[in-house]
Amino acid sequence: MKAEFTAIIEAAPEGGYWAMCPEVPGANGQGETIEEAKNNLREAIELILEERRADMLRGLPDDAIQEKVFIG
């Protein structure tokens, strides 16, 4: 899945950086560098969205229609 999200990055008081994503509540990352914090945030977003998708698909009736929707 391709998507674009906002990364809010701040310097952590103890050193390194914190990153959070306002579009995905609960998604955050941290790292010694900005790039590491962004990579950890990316992984958190992917895991959260995969889990949300799996939760939604559990128990769907067999006749439920599943189609892709693209946002441009």
One-character DSSP codes across 6-51: --EEEE-TTSSEEEE-TTSTT-EEEESSHHHHHHHHHHHHHHHHHH
Domain that includes residue 55, residue range? 1-72
CATH number at residue 42: 3.30.160.250
- The pLDDT score that the predictor gives to residue 2 is 72
Q: Over its length of 72 residues, how does the chain's per-residue pLDDT go in tens digits?
A: 578 999 999 999 999 999 999 999 999 999 999 999 999 999 999 999 999 999 999 989 989 999 988 877
Q: What is the DSSP letter of 59?
A: T
- Number of domains making up the chain: 1
Residue 52 three-state SS:
helix
- The pLDDT score that the predictor gives to residue 72 is 74
State how far the Cα of 15 lies from the Cα of 31, in Å rounded to an integer: 9
- The pLDDT score that the predictor gives to residue 13 is 96
The model's pTM is 0.83
- The pLDDT score that the predictor gives to residue 1 is 57
